[in-house]
Chain A
Amino acid sequence: MISSTSSTSSEGALDQLKASLLAEVRFIPSPTRRGHRLREAVVLFAVLAMYLASYLVVGGYHAASDRPTSFMVVTTMGFVLATFAAIWGVFGDRKSMTGPPLIWMVAVVVGVPLMQLGWVVLGNELFPHSHRACTGRVGNVCLDFSLTLGSMPLLLLAAWRRRANVVHPGWAGATLGTAVGAAVGILIHLSCECTGLTHVLRGHILPVALLAIFGAFAGVRMRHVKRQRF
């Protein structure tokens, strides 16, 4: 008896809530899939435009004589692969509304910078004549460029998916930061001829890690689902 009484009252409460919700949603704007796609296209176009503009800002491709095409193709391919791995980590399963599992995101955040570093080391081994230690350049210029070029697209992408990460928003933001950092890393690699380990670690790998940390903060602050006033 107790259970039937309580279930009847909870059904009544649910009916009341349904009526008020149905009335409420009519007044709360929400884009349909079509509207969302349009916004998505605008944001992606803006990010792509920023990316191409960044390419010009960093001076485009630096064609040094000791950087043969084969070296550039092999090393750039490595950076592109790392970027694709990171982008895959951001989107994961296209059929999931809750994003990829945590373990995939952790693998991307940790693995992508290591993959980039490994690729540079491999490039130095395969093309020893292209190795430039750049002992005078510690990497601050590349670090500054990467952070400056990466922060705007990262903020834009984080704001676009505002309140969209229902599970692990911090890690999702870190994965996004890693993807942006890896993409900016391609431009930096094309324009910077230094392959010395200290320079690469400080100027090319550290910004990816810093953008991941920045992305994690942005994720927690902006992409996390919380109580809203409608």
Chain B
Amino acid sequence: MTSNSLDEAMARYANGDDEAFAFLYDGLAPRLLRYLQRHTLNTAQAKDHLQQTLLHMHRARGSFRRGAAVVPWAFAIARRLVLDSARRGKLEPTLSPDSRPVEEELHHSADSELAAKQLAGKMLDTLASLPENQRVAFELVRQDGLSLTEAAAALGTTVTAVKLRLHRASVALRATAGSLHDGEAA
């Protein structure tokens, strides 16, 4: 499902085609849920935020501008809801670190599993230690698959700023990976 087809579906929904909502859900919900799970570390809250995000989009469908992109809008709403919960102290992590979505995708094989887990753990620690704006830009582009333009719109900044944040985050992560590799070689 491409971003363009989702934009068209949202435009149809804004014009009153109620059937388009199911298509939008199928295209957006899995990506948003992954994003929300990563940020809330709580499946129930992630689902609740997902529901709120989609209901908000439903309520505001009439304001959807012609030619606008729906993906950054949806991610921006989801992000705002997560920030709002965090500010009110309502984020309660219930997922164990082993069930983090990023780690789910790792291949499981004898020796490489330990090394991969070690690397993933270090990378996640480095990612967590990055300044918030760099971390969020990295996650949106590299993990959630948003384009630079979409990430810039979701974060309310310019494409150049996103590129810069992404570059700095990549440099930090590369340095971590490099140091780990050097340690193993030694």
Contact = CB atoms under 8 A, between A and B. Distances in A.
B81 A225 contact: yes
Interface residues of A, number: 46
Given A6-B99, A14-B30, A36-B63, 14 more contacts: A10-B33, A11-B30, A17-B29, A17-B50, A21-B25, A25-B18, A30-B61, A33-B14, A94-B67, A97-B65, A97-B72, A101-B161, A163-B56, A166-B73
Given A101-B156, A225-B80, A226-B81, A36 B62 contact: yes
Interface of B: 14-16, 18, 21-22, 25-26, 29-30, 33, 43, 47, 50-52, 54-56, 58-70, 72-73, 76-77, 79-81, 84-85, 99, 104-105, 108, 152-158, 161
Interface string A18-54: 1011101110101111111100000000000000000
A73 interface: no
Contacts of A14: 29-30, 33
A155 B108 CA distance: 58
B104 A30 contact: no
A170 B51 CA distance: 25
A103 B161 CA distance: 10
Contact of B15 (A13, A24, A32, A228): A32
Contacts of A226: 80-81, 84
Nearest 3 pairs between A and B by C-beta?
A36-B62, A167-B156, A97-B73
Majority secondary structure, B binding face? helix
Given A14-B33, A101-B156, A95 B81 contact: no
B76 A167 contact: yes
Contact of A166 (B59, B65, B77): B77
Nearest to A227: B52
A135 B109 CA distance: 84
Contact of A97 (B22, B52, B69, B81): B69
Interface of A: 2-3, 6-7, 10-11, 13-14, 17-18, 20-22, 24-26, 28, 30-37, 94-103, 163-164, 166-168, 224-228, 230
Contact of A30 (B59, B66, B68, B84): B59
A227 B26 CA distance: 22
A32 B73 contact: no
B55 A21 contact: yes
A228 B99 contact: no
Nearest to B62: A36
Given A17-B47, A224-B80, A28 B158 contact: no
B104 A13 contact: no
Contacts of B64: 33, 97
